[in-house]
Chains A and B, each alone.
Chain A
């Protein structure tokens, strides 16, 4: 069975600085998708970024980028130029190419200080 591990329950960063959130996963499959979701205090789950395992190039969405290391089964999220609005819970998630079901990590709470 696949598992997703987020080893940092909490992280903090100063406004305008860069922070990296860690995620590792375990799978025997070669074709899958990885996601980072943001959950602000409003509780809404918001997709931040997506990575297809067959793509070697790391995904980027504005200030958000990932470091996808397939051999190491690592999928970290880098937030550049952090803003107060980035404060939230961040969840890493895995999805097999053969099912629609997401497997989530336990989340990392990010605090952003002015």
Chain B
């Protein structure tokens, strides 16, 4: 693994189903983030974690939950998916001791029908 990986690459999901998007980084970054990207809206922050064991809400947290059991993994869960959650989801990480750059994963395209 080099950088940030996300799984799955894409997914079609029936409304009402539960879904977990996976994110793993191997850079030992303390901070991790989940964004959603929608046409005309750019990227918006869903949840973040400054360090393992802590999480916080971003701009659009409703309908999503996260956990940060260790430094490397930051899964995003949709407990009961709705069509408005159709989007491209990006995971990112950063090291506050570094140059403030956030590194992004390749994204997951999620379609909720």
**Which of A33, A102, A105 has the most B CB atoms < 10 Å from its CB?**
A102
Chain A residues with CB under 8 Å of B90's CB are: 45
Chain B residues with CB under 8 Å of A25's CB are: none
Q: Does A78 contact B (CB under 8 A)?
A: no
**A107-B33 Cα distance, complex, nearest whole Å:** 19
Q: Does A43 contact B (CB under 8 A)?
A: yes
Give the total of A residues in contact with B, Cβ under 8 Å.
21
Chain B residues with CB under 8 Å of A45's CB are: 43, 90, 92, 104
Counting chain B residues whose Cβ lies within 8 A of the other chain, the interface size class is: 20 to 34
Q: Which residue of the partner chain, among B33, B99, B104, B107, contacts A101 with CB atoms under 8 Å?
A: B33
Chain B residues with CB under 8 Å of A6's CB are: 42
Which residues of B are interface residues toward A (Cβ below 8 A)? 31, 33, 35, 40-45, 48, 50, 58, 88, 90, 92, 94, 96, 99-102, 104, 106-107
